[in-house]
Every structure is written in C-alpha cells, then in structure tokens.
Amino acid sequence: MTKQKKHPTLKEVAKRAGVGTTTVSRVINAVEHVEPWTKARVERAIKELGYLPNHAARVLKGHKTRTIGLVVPSIADPFFSSCAEVLQGIARQHGFLLIVLTTHNESAMEREAVNTLIQHRVDGFVISPADAESDELRSLLTRVMVPVVALDRPVAGAVAPSVVADNFVGAEHATHHLIAHGYKRIACLTGEIELYTIRERARGYQAAMAAAGLKAMRNTSIYDCTACESAIEKMLKEPDPVDAIFTLKNSVTVDAFEVLQRMGVPIPEKVALIGYDDFQLAGTVRPSITVVQQPIEELGKTAAELLFRHLKGSSAVAMPAEAKARQQVLLKTSLIPRASCGCRPDPS
C-alpha cells in the first residue's frame, strides 16, 4: 500500500496523446488556440493516466502558489476557528488553499510561522499578532513582499491593513449599560492584560467609569478559576462591596458565573454580570448572561475580502502604498441584553 508509483507527468500525457507538451499545458489551463479534436484526445489521455498537475513545478515557473496562510494564537479557540472557517471558504472560492499555523501568543512561534509561510511562498496571509507593538514583527512584515492583513489585533506602524472589532467602544458601552442600571461598584476581571484586545476593553471600561465619575476596579490577575474565585470573594467582603462584574473574556465570564452560582450570590440582584464575547449557552443558562457580541463571521469575511482585493489588485492598478497600509477596518460590536444585567427576567 501507499506505493510510490510516481505520478504521471505532463510529458507522459503528451506522448500518450501524440501531441507536444505545450498543447497539453494549453488544454489544462484552458488557453485557446487548440483544436477541439486535439483537446479531446489530450483530455482522454489525462483521464486515462489519472494525471494531476504538479503544483511545485507550476509554482517554480509561475511564482504564484494560490495558497494563503493564517497565523493565529490557537485554532481550537472558537473565535479563531470560526474565522478560519470563513477564510478557508472564501479562499476555496478563489481557488486558494489555506495553511494554518498557531502561535500560542508567543512571538518566537509567530516569527517562525511567518518565515515558514514565506518559504512556502504563500501569496498572502492573515495574522493575529501576539504583540501589536513588536518591532521584530513589524520589520518582518515589511520584508515580506506579499499582502498581509491583521485580524482582531492591529499591528502598529501602518505596516498592514487590519480588521478589528471595536473593543474600546464595546466595553465602554457595556460598562455604561451597567451604570445606567444604577450599579456603581463595578469591577472588571480581565484575563491576559498584555493582549491588545483585552487592553482595549479595559480602556473602554475605565473610560466609561471615569465619565460617570466612578472608581474603576480592575483585577488583571484573573487567569484561571481559582484566581477568579478568590478575587470575587475578596471583592464581596469589602466594606463597600462590588455590585456588578464586567468580565473581559469568555473563559473568565464562565468562571465568574460558576463562582457566583456556587457562592449562592443571586444574579443580578446582588451582583450583576456582563461578559465580553458571546458563547453557546449564554442565553440558555439561568440567569441568562448579558454579553458583548463580536461580529466574528464579519471579521473573517472582511479580512478575507481585503486580502483578496490586494491579491488581485497587485497585478492591476495598485493603489498607492499608504492608502493600502493604513486601511483600518473597525467593526461594531453589539450588546445582547439578557437577564444577568438586570435588564429583563428570564421566562420560566
């Protein structure tokens, strides 16, 4: 099994069809100037031999791989896997393949990933940078000679167009929503504060609190559930205890929800909760959880479209450099009001 019988080559097809290699190449690429009769013979030979063009040889000659890359922290993350799904769909429509590389938010793996993509001569790629400010990444990306678009997190220095959700306004909006409901002691549980998205959300939270003349209470050390638990316990024991929690990340939302449930703290009566990023059962759980919803599909779709516009455009008019690079798409988030913020009771 898995015998190494060697693939048939174009030359063999040509011989079998009794034509020149050029002719075979022409019928494969649907170029005109070939007699229907000849074409039929070639097609028959192709079928008989089970011939499939050798991609490597094509690339070597033509300098186009019809392949794009996707560099993300994790492909198991529902956010990125959804993006990947739409990206691969659109790529396929254009006749492109998708190569996926994960970084776990480590710059070293990220650099390695980009280099690998260059080596494979991808025609372009989408990247969700671990660190927007990284000089190394920036210089790598300028050296790359192929369209790049940043997804979910921009890269500083206008080195590539980016498609991101408006984390700042999303968080500001959610915080304001809590404030409008009369909550005053609103805490913010962040997750990895070194990430661009989380940082922006934290900024939005702080801006909203400041605008309302309230004191921001941020806890940036929430990585796992036990940390979450002790943080929440502490907040509730204070003389002036927390009356609302804004979580900046999916897993932290779930952790906080579990902890509050386990402690028997009524939501939203004692403590209200809003989470950033929607998830599967947010609306099913009791109480249902109010969240900031990100336009995930649209993020992926926009990134893909941007990339392919550049891919096609590069051979055409080629819009001026700055116009391309500065292209920053900011997508709106939306608040999904449910029970955990006190907006409405759940039916039961």
Which residues form the interface with DNA (CB under 7 A)? Answer: 6-7, 9-11, 18-23, 25-26, 28-29, 32-35, 37-39, 51, 53-54, 57-58, 60-62
Residue from 31, 60, 211, 330 in contact with a copy of itself (CB under 8 A): 60
Residues sharing a CB contact under 8 Å with residue 60, sequence separation 6 or more, in sequence order: none
Q: How many CA atoms lie within 13 A of 238 on its CB side?
A: 13
Minimum distance from residue 64 beta carbon to DNA (Å): 9
Residues 219-238 that bind a copy of itself (CB under 8 A): none
Q: Is 30 in the site for a copy of itself (CB under 8 A)?
A: no
> 95 vs 89, 126, 219, 281, 347, CA distance in Å?
10, 17, 47, 36, 48
Residue environment code for 247-262, b if the CB has 16+ CB neighbours within 10 A, otherwise e: bbbbbbbbbbbebbee
Q: Which does 321 bind (CB under 5 to 8 A by kind): a copy of itself, DNA, none?
A: a copy of itself
Helix (H, G, I), strand (E, B) or coil at 298: helix
Q: Which does 199 bind (CB under 5 to 8 A by kind): a copy of itself, DNA, none?
A: none
Cα torsion at 69, 74, 80, 82 (round to 10°)?
90
Q: Which does 237 bind (CB under 5 to 8 A by kind): a copy of itself, DNA, none?
A: none
**121/270 with CB nearer a copy of itself:** 121
For the beta sheet containing 272-276, the strands, ordered from the edge strand earlier in sequence to the opposite edge, are 217-219, 186-189, 244-247, 272-276, 290-293, 334-336
Minimum distance from residue 62 beta carbon to DNA (Å): 5
Q: Is 316 in the site for a copy of itself (CB under 8 A)?
A: no
**27/245 with CB nearer DNA:** 27
Residues 138-167 that bind a copy of itself (CB under 8 A): 143-148
